[in-house]
Chains A and B, each alone.
Chain A
Amino acid sequence: MLSYTLKRLAQAIPTMLIVITIAFFLMRIAPGGPFDGERALPPEIEANLMAAYHLDEPLWQQYFRYLGNLVQGDFGPSFKYKDFTVTELIMQGFPVSLQIGGLAILLALAIGLPLGIIAALKRNTAVDYTVMGTALAGIAVPNFVVAPVLALVFGVLLGWLPAGGWNDGALPNLILPVIALSIQQIAYIARMMRASMIEVMGSHYIRTARAKGLTEAEVVWRHALRPALLPVTSYLGPAIAGIITGSVVIEQIFGIPGIGRYFVQGALNRDYTLVMGTVVFYGALIVLMNLIVDLIYSALDPQIRYDD
C-alpha cells in the first residue's frame, strides 16, 4: 500500500503538468483580457499595462516564464489584487475556507449519514418520507436563495447572529455560513447513503449474515455499513476538494474572506496568474483527495486491491 501511495504521488507531477499546460492555453483562448473594463483605456496606457505584466511577449514565452517561476514556487503577483502575490492570497484565504468547509463537511456527515441509514432501514415509512422529502427540499432550493434568507432571518430580523463578516473566525460568525454550506451536502449524503444502504441490505451476503442469526443491529454495523459507504466515499473525494476551497455564493453573502471567490472572480477578471494559482491548488487537492478515496476503498472493502 505504501509503494502504491508513493507511486500515485509521483504520478501527480505529470498530471499537474498536463493540467497546468491545458489550463494556461485554455485561459488565453478566451476573449477579453485583464484590462478590459467599463472604462476603456487609451492605447498608450494599455501598452504600458501589457508590458508591465509581460503580456506583450509571445504566448509560448509567457508559458515557459510561468513554468520557470512555478518551479521556484513563485505563482507571480495577482493582476487584479496588485499588492499581493497569488501565493499570499491563497495562503491567507485557504485557512478560512478550510475552516468553513471542513465544519460544513463534518456537519453534513454527522447529520446526513445517520439520516440516510435510518431512512433506508425504515424504508417506505413516514420516517423515510419525511427525511427524504426534507432532503429533496434542501436540494431544490439553491444556496443563493438559502444564504440570503438565513442572513435575513437570523441576522436581521431576529438579530441572534451576525448577518455577515468573518471577525477572525469567531464562533457566531461561523454558524450561518457553515449551515448554509452544509444544507445541500446533508441532502446529497443522506440521499446517497439511503440508496446504497438499501442496495446493500438487499444483497446476498447480508441475507447470509442474517441467516447466521445475527441481530439486525449487528448486521448493519458489522456487515452493511462499510460497503454501503463506498458510493458516498467516491462522491466525497471531489466534493470535499470543492467545499474546502470555498463557495463564492456563501463567501459573498456572508463576507467570508476565503478563496472560493477567486475561482469565479479570477476567471471573470481574466486575472491569469490568480486563475492558474487556483487551478494548481485545486488540481493538487483533487489528486490528493482521489488518492485518499482510493485508499479508503481498501479499508472499507479489503478485497479491493490495486496492482502495483
Chain B
Amino acid sequence: MSTDSLAPTAAPVGDSLGRDAWRRLSQNRAAMASLWLLGLMTLACFIGPWLTPWGLADVDWNAFDVGPTLEGGHWLGTDANGRDLLTRTLYGGQVSLSVALVATFVSLIIGVLYGAVSGYIGGRVDNLMMRFVDIMYSLPFMFLVILLMVVFGRNIFLIYAAIGAVEWLDMARIVRGQTLALKQREFVEAAHALGVKDGKIVTRHLIPNAIGPVIVYVTLTVPKVILLESFLSFLGLGVQEPLTSWGVLISEGADMMQTSPWMLLVPSVFLALTLFCLNFLGDGLRDALDPKTR
C-alpha cells in the first residue's frame, strides 16, 4: 500500500519535470490561448506607448474628458486632464503587470516555503513561526509601508516589496494547513522511512501535492495586488503622476463612471482580461504540475 501510493505522488526528478509539465500545458488549448494573450498584452503595454500618437503626460488642450473617437487620435478617449487614455492605460499596464508579477512571485516563494517548513517541522517551531505570522497580520499595513518609505525613499520597487511583504501571509497559512494534513499521509511516511531528506520531502512531496490551492490563491492575489497598489498611490506611496497604473486609473474612473464611463471601462477591461487569462493559465498549470494525474 505504502510503496504503491508513493509512486504516483512523488514528482519526477530534474528537468523532465519542466519538460513534461510543458508538454501537458501545451496540449491545453485554453491555457495556451491565455498565455499568448497575456504575452500580447504585456508586449502591447511595453511597446504600444511608442505607437500611439500621444505621450504619457501630453495634454490635448482641446480634448478634456472626451469619449472614444477616431478623430483627434484618442481611440479610447481622454481623461479629465485631456490625456490620451489608451496611452495611459498601456503605461499603467507596465506598472500594474510588473507589480503583480513581482509581488505575487515574492508572496508565492516566501509564503509556500515558510508555510511548508512550518507545517512539516511542526511543534514548537511551527508555533513560533505561526505567531510571527500573527504579528505580521496585526501590524498596521499603512505604517509598515511608511516605514519602508522612510528607510528606502520614494521608489517603485518599494511598492513591490511592501505588497509582497503582506501578501505572503495568507499563502503561508494555506500551505501550512495543507502540509499539516499531507505530512500524515502514507507517502510522506514512506519517503521518510526510505531515508529521503527533509528538504526533499518538502520540495518533492509536500509542495507539489499542495499545488492546487496554491495556484488558485496566486491567481486571486494578482487582482488584489493590482488594486492594493492604487491604495498606496492614494497614500502618496505608490506611482506618482504623470505615471499611472491600472489600479489608479480604475479608481479615477470610478469617480467618473456616471459621466465618463470609458474612464472606468478601459482599464477595467484590461484588468479583467488579465485575470481571465491568468485563471485559465493557472488551471492548465495545475493540471500540468499535478503529480497525481500523471
Task: Tell me the A residues contacting B by CB distance below 8 Å.
Answer: 11, 15-16, 18-19, 22-23, 26-27, 29-31, 132-133, 136-137, 139-142, 144-145, 148-149, 152, 188, 191-192, 194-196, 198-199, 202-204, 227, 230-231, 233-235, 237-239, 241, 263-264, 267-268, 275, 278-279, 282-283, 286-287, 290, 293, 297, 301, 303-304, 306-307
Which of B44-52, B62-70, B134-142, B192-200 lies at the interface with chain A?
B134-142
On whether the beta carbons of A18 and B271 are closer than 8 Å, the reply is: no
On whether the beta carbons of B216 and A30 are closer than 8 Å, the reply is: no
On whether the beta carbons of B268 and A141 are closer than 8 Å, the reply is: yes
Q: Which residues of B contact A148 (CB under 8 A)?
A: 254, 257
Size band of the B side of the interface?
Answer: 35 or more
B249 CB to closest chain A CB (Å) equals: 12
Q: Which residues of A contact B219 (CB under 8 A)?
A: 191
Q: Which residues of B contact A202 (CB under 8 A)?
A: 290, 292-293
A294 CB to closest chain B CB (Å) equals: 8
Residue from A15, A31, A142 having most chain B Cβ neighbours under 10 A: A142
B66-125 contacts to A (CB < 8 Å): 122-124
Instruction: Enumerate 10 A-B pairs (CB-CB under 8 Å) in ascending A order.
Output: A15-B134, A26-B139, A136-B272, A140-B223, A145-B250, A149-B257, A195-B215, A263-B140, A264-B142, A307-B123
On whether the beta carbons of A297 and B181 are closer than 8 Å, the reply is: yes
On whether the beta carbons of B181 and A132 are closer than 8 Å, the reply is: no
Q: Which residues of A contact B217 (CB under 8 A)?
A: 192, 231, 235
On whether the beta carbons of A267 and B140 are closer than 8 Å, the reply is: yes
| Nearest chain B residue, comparing its CB with the CB of A139 | B223
On whether the beta carbons of A290 and B130 are closer than 8 Å, the reply is: yes
A267 with B143, Cβ < 8 A, contacts A140-B223, A196-B213, A303-B184 known: yes
A105 CB to closest chain B CB (Å) equals: 16
On whether the beta carbons of B139 and A31 are closer than 8 Å, the reply is: no
A124 CB to closest chain B CB (Å) equals: 9
A95 CB to closest chain B CB (Å) equals: 22
Q: Is the interface of A mostly helix, strand, loop or mixed?
A: helix
On whether the beta carbons of A279 and B220 are closer than 8 Å, the reply is: no
On whether the beta carbons of A132 and B213 are closer than 8 Å, the reply is: no
Instruction: Decide if B180 is an interface residue (CB 8 Å cutoff).
Output: yes
On whether the beta carbons of A11 and B178 are closer than 8 Å, the reply is: no
| Nearest chain B residue, comparing its CB with the CB of A140 | B272
Q: Which residues of B contact A283 (CB under 8 A)?
A: 134-135, 137-138
On whether the beta carbons of A203 and B292 are closer than 8 Å, the reply is: yes
8 further A-B contacts with Cβ under 8 Å, apart from A29-B143, A203-B292, are: A140-B223, A152-B258, A194-B216, A195-B212, A234-B178, A238-B170, A264-B142, A304-B184
Instruction: Decide if B207 is an interface residue (CB 8 Å cutoff).
Output: no
Instruction: Decide if B205 is an interface residue (CB 8 Å cutoff).
Output: no
A286 with B137, Cβ < 8 A, contacts A136-B275, A145-B254, A202-B292 known: yes
Task: Tell me the B residues contacting A by CB distance below 8 Å.
Answer: 5, 8-9, 122-124, 126-127, 130-131, 133-135, 137-140, 142-144, 146-147, 150, 169-170, 173-174, 176-178, 180-181, 184, 212-213, 215-217, 219-220, 223, 227, 250-251, 254, 257-258, 264, 268, 271-272, 275-276, 279, 286, 290, 292-293
Q: Which residues of B contact A139 (CB under 8 A)?
A: 220, 223, 275
| Nearest chain A residue, comparing its CB with the CB of B175 | A234
Q: Is the interface of B mostly helix, strand, loop or mixed?
A: helix
On whether the beta carbons of B181 and A301 are closer than 8 Å, the reply is: yes
On whether the beta carbons of A279 and B264 are closer than 8 Å, the reply is: no
Residue from A278, A282, A286 having most chain B Cβ neighbours under 10 A: A286
| Nearest chain A residue, comparing its CB with the CB of B9 | A204
Expressed in whole angstroms, the Cα–Cα distance for A82 and B254 within the complex equals 33
| Nearest chain B residue, comparing its CB with the CB of A283 | B138
On whether the beta carbons of B134 and A132 are closer than 8 Å, the reply is: no
On whether the beta carbons of B184 and A301 are closer than 8 Å, the reply is: yes
On whether the beta carbons of A234 and B135 are closer than 8 Å, the reply is: no
A19 with B250, Cβ < 8 A, contacts A137-B272, A303-B184, A307-B123 known: no
On whether the beta carbons of A132 and B279 are closer than 8 Å, the reply is: yes
A115 CB to closest chain B CB (Å) equals: 14
Expressed in whole angstroms, the Cα–Cα distance for A224 and B220 within the complex equals 23
Q: Which residues of B contact A241 (CB under 8 A)?
A: 137
On whether the beta carbons of A230 and B257 are closer than 8 Å, the reply is: no
Q: Which of B131, B133, B135 contacts A22 (CB 8 A)?
A: B135
Q: Which of B137, B251, B290 contacts A238 (CB 8 A)?
A: B137
Expressed in whole angstroms, the Cα–Cα distance for A152 and B254 within the complex equals 13
A145 with B180, Cβ < 8 A, contacts A192-B217, A235-B174 known: no
Q: Which residues of A contact B213 (CB under 8 A)?
A: 192, 195-196, 199, 231
On whether the beta carbons of A279 and B215 are closer than 8 Å, the reply is: no
B275 CB to closest chain A CB (Å) equals: 5
Expressed in whole angstroms, the Cα–Cα distance for A286 and B138 within the complex equals 7
A286 with B134, Cβ < 8 A, contacts A145-B250, A145-B254 known: yes
B287 CB to closest chain A CB (Å) equals: 9
| Nearest chain A residue, comparing its CB with the CB of B143 | A26
Q: Which residues of A contact B124 (CB under 8 A)?
A: 307
Residue from B127, B146, B212, B279 having most chain A Cβ neighbours under 10 A: B212
Q: Which residues of A contact B127 (CB under 8 A)?
A: 11
Expressed in whole angstroms, the Cα–Cα distance for A18 and B9 within the complex equals 41
Expressed in whole angstroms, the Cα–Cα distance for A297 and B184 within the complex equals 13
Q: Which residues of B contact A142 (CB under 8 A)?
A: 227, 250-251, 254
Expressed in whole angstroms, the Cα–Cα distance for A294 and B62 within the complex equals 61
B294 CB to closest chain A CB (Å) equals: 11
Expressed in whole angstroms, the Cα–Cα distance for A132 and B216 within the complex equals 12
